[in-house]
Structure 1
């Protein structure tokens, strides 16, 4: 029996399976987690419809934060790839489904009215649930604050979620994201009011922050969309895609903080 036990132990240690012997006695220190990003979304649907779409539709997410009640549902195991990001890019990484945790939040998004677009706020209970969930994920995977991003950041030509009413600053104040220093923004704006930067400067700075953008030197359609996505995240009071001095000041402050 003792001899049989030793043989079984040797089998486990060498990973012998169907005649294949794998030596696992030399683990490398050069690795990190597959999960590098947290991507936040809204669903544009009710609780019931959101659950149906994310469990039996063509898309999915790792988590869904409900509205009534603000319950957190896990829909996909974190070890698996959920289909929430689609064609996407951040810091040169493409197709972020493979390297991110996707969190959907039940929210109608917006309604277009004769007086303009009406965006819907998130409930306090929802935001508390999102904060607790993101904090747990970040702690377990050691995710950097600058890697907590929105769907609109990684796909600015296609998406606008989680929208201008998502409280990015509140999360950043809790270490769950980045936010520009107000004093640095004020100093930068005074300089840019006098000497506005070129369009290639905006494109270079946006690319440095993480956005996917071509360095054309022109205020083309893509650049407007990227600027608008940046503004929606960091200056939600106005996200018209215009490259003004305040936008430049915020962008400079964020990149200097890196």
Structure 2
């Protein structure tokens, strides 16, 4: 009997332990957050909130539309389940190192994915303010504010070609290319560059995209090209290479090398 009393007392002492002194903070630390991933929900406000709070999928923030409201659903210090199998600049498992932001938007309006729902000015205004806050607190590089389709191009298309990447990038909330330089570069793209799958694959990998270096024009290459075009050339995202696509990728590779994730 005495043994059990002594054991229980010892366990109780371990469970309680001494008080934790939180008065000191190490200089050698930084945020776990390297990336911000943007999504559309494909649902209305009510269904989006239900799915992101009750199902086995989540995001740190949800931005509704009509009316616009920002919901904080997962603490930024915790992992939200929004990215799935993903990769950017060689980093995998982006759920562990990212903030996920969902926007209420139906996405494609037809089965052929030629018509997409627009984002309202008020919703993008709310997103801009949130992005600026999250980016500044976690020191996220502009080229690490990405689409779900950027980090998982074989599975996802969100936030789609209607998303205003150019507008946000001009506010420092994402990366964009030098439009004047690309205009001058387009006629200089060579037939060898345009016709080489190995060159295109290496170029897309250099600017962050997960793409197998197969050296052939396979299905995964077309899908990654389409994801790239949705982000940077949304007027035409067929997945076919052309001089403009190559020139944009070349300019991005010049300014945002993969050695600086």
Which range, TM-score by smaller chain? 0.7 to 0.9
**CA–CA separation in structure 2 for the residues paired with 1:60 and 1:18:** 33
Q: Cα distance, 1:24 vs. partner?
A: 9.3
Mapping of residues 197-208 of structure 1, within 5 Å? 197=194, 198-208=196-206
Picking from 35, 49, 52, the partner of 1:51 is 49
Secondary structure of 2:110's aligned partner: strand
> How far off its partner does 1:17 sit?
8.4
Q: What secondary structure sits across from 1:160 in the alignment?
A: coil
Q: 1:223 to 1:27 in 2, by over 3 A?
A: same
Normalised by the length of structure 1, the TM-score is 0.88
In 1, the alpha carbon distance for the partners of 2:191 and 2:34 equals: 39
2:137 alignment counterpart: 140
| TM-score computed with the length of structure 2 as normaliser | 0.87
Tell me whether 1:161 sits opposite 2:158 in the alignment: yes
In the superposition, relative to structure 1, how do residues 21 and 62 fare at CA in structure 2: closer, same or farther (>3 Å)?
Answer: closer
Deviation at 1:20, TM superposition (A): 8.1
1 CA distance for matches of 2:20 and 2:186?
A: 60
**RMSD (Å) for aligned C-alpha atoms:** 2.2
Residues 156 and 226, structure 1, Cα contact 8 Å, conserved in 2: yes
Aligned twin of 1:191: 188
Size of the alignment, in residue pairs? 242
Superposition deviation, residue 61 in structure 1: 0.4
> Are 2:134 and 1:171 aligned?
no
Please tell me whether the aligned partners of residues 229 and 239 of structure 1 are also in contact (alpha carbons under 8 angstroms).
yes
Runs of 4+ in 1 over 4 A off after TM superposition: 16-30
1:256 to 254, 257, 261: 254
Structure 1: gaps spanning 5 or more residues: 1-15
